[in-house]
Structure 1
Amino acid sequence: MRVLLADDHKLVRAGLRALLESLPDVTVLAESGDGQEVLELAGRLRPDVLLLDISLPGLNGIEVARRLARLCPATRVLILSMHTATEYVAQALRAGVAGYLVKDSAVDELKVALDSVHQGRTYLSPAISGAVVAGFLRTGEGAPAPNELDLLTPRQRETLQLIAEGHGTRGIAARLGVSVKTVETHRAQLMERLGIYDVPALVRLAMRHGLVPTEST
């Protein structure tokens, strides 16, 4: 099993890499702590499984998973996150992930989760699976209910995250490789779609939906 590892903390990545490399038949192809780089690495290396944290700078894990579903549909995404709220899990499932594992899971559960997603099954940590099923029953549908971020285009979601991370207009333009005017247009359009017209409220929204962490992970 060829695995790409993504987490924004170097010490966490080092521990995970050591754990993964101790597992039989697992090869770690590469690791990264930046969302855009993760997407580029996945496109180039085509791993069997991407072990992915949600809280990544620049391009969060949910957005990485959403784009990867189109870029590398054969790569299975296993989220590894501290977030247990059903909203985070629902966002991940909407993005097309194959599994969701919470960071306080037992070590043995990581191997079970990896094997499950690699073999084409969906894996949810026992700590969250019951709540997710209950949420599905409440919506009366076979998929999670949509949220505010579904109103935005991928580039608008990326712009929102960068705004919430504290980047100015010129910094966002440089990171995205677009003009300042284009960034201003994205910002105006996302504010219009969300009905939010001040930056602090945008930051609170981004935190609520996991685009930026509310605390260190």
Structure 2
Amino acid sequence: MTIRILLADDQPLVRSGLRVLIADVPDLEVVGEAGTGAEAVQGVGQLRPDVVLMDIRMPGMDGIEATRLITGGPEPSRVLVLTTFDEDEHVYGALRAGASGFLVKDMAVEDILAAIRVVAAGDALIAPGVTRRLIADFVASGTPAAPRRARPVANITEREREVLTLVGRGRSNAEIAADLYITMATAKSHVTRLLTKLDARDRVQLVIIAYELGLVAPGG
């Protein structure tokens, strides 16, 4: 099955470079491009891509608002944020808007292609250590934190709270299993139950919830 991709970036050179890279991969196909957030939203409506590679800083409607509209639509595509880590302080907002993960523009080609496949498969890109660092740096940057959401946390068990804390630290299921001396299947079951109980779309949202609830502190 071919994964259909929409490239959303205001720099034609970036889009052209990504298109060339993806053209050589049999299971990936670029079906459209957008230079603004509004064009990205329109392109999703017309082309129905599986994944949108979304830049943050674009003229007019930015990538965060475009992500919110795309993921909240009747037939949403998965959004994978494309950002320059050293300059962009809006990753947290993009994840809250519904993005399933992020890419850093200087990542290795193999990592970019793998990330597209992960997100297209319905999972979230939550590389251990990387997402943790992004969110921690964003919170520590001095930008006002978003208000904490009211979450039904009273019905999670103490073990699930421990698992949520580890997810917030960017730990994989295998690492959670090792930390808590449980099997990986049990760790996966705990994560699945947390997704249901906390009404979270994916693992990225669990990370955000862990920060919002104060279970994980920036740099902690």
TM-score of the pair, normalised by structure 2: 0.59
Per-residue displacement from partner, 1:32-57 (whole Å, max 9, x unpaired)? Answer: 21221111111111100001111111
- Counterparts of residues 1-217 of structure 1 (less than 5 Å): 1-83=3-85, 87-124=89-126, 128-131=130-133, 132=135, 133-134=168-169, 137-140=210-213
The change in CA–CA distance for 1:86 and 1:57 in structure 2 (over 3 A counts) is closer
Amino acid corresponding to residue 12 of structure 1 in structure 2:
V
CA contact (8 A) 1:52 1:61 kept: yes
Residue 52 of structure 1: SS of its match in structure 2?
Answer: strand
Residue 27 of structure 1: SS of its match in structure 2?
Answer: strand
The change in CA–CA distance for 1:117 and 1:90 in structure 2 (over 3 A counts) is same
Per-residue displacement from partner, 1:84-130 (whole Å, max 9, x unpaired)? Answer: 57952211111001111111111110111001100111003556322
Superposition misfits of 4+ residues, deviation over 4 angstroms: 84-87, 134-138
CA distance in 2, matches of 1:65, 1:118: 15
How many aligned positions are there? 144
Amino acid corresponding to residue 27 of structure 2 in structure 1:
D
CA distance in 1, matches of 2:24, 2:15: 14
Gaps of 5+ in 2: 136-167, 170-207
Per-residue displacement from partner, 1:36-82 (whole Å, max 9, x unpaired)? Answer: 11111111111000011111111100100001112254410001110
Gaps of 5+ in 1: 144-217
CA contact (8 A) 1:101 1:125 kept: no
CA distance in 2, matches of 1:85, 1:94: 19
The structure carrying a bigger helix percent of its residues is: 1
CA contact (8 A) 1:53 1:79 kept: yes
Q: Which moved more, 1:34-43 or 1:65-74?
A: 65-74
Per-residue displacement from partner, 1:138-185 (whole Å, max 9, x unpaired)? Answer: 542589xxxxxxxxxxxxxxxxxxxxxxxxxxxxxxxxxxxxxxxxxx
CA contact (8 A) 1:100 1:125 kept: no
Alignment RMSD: 2.6
TM-score of the pair, normalised by structure 1: 0.59
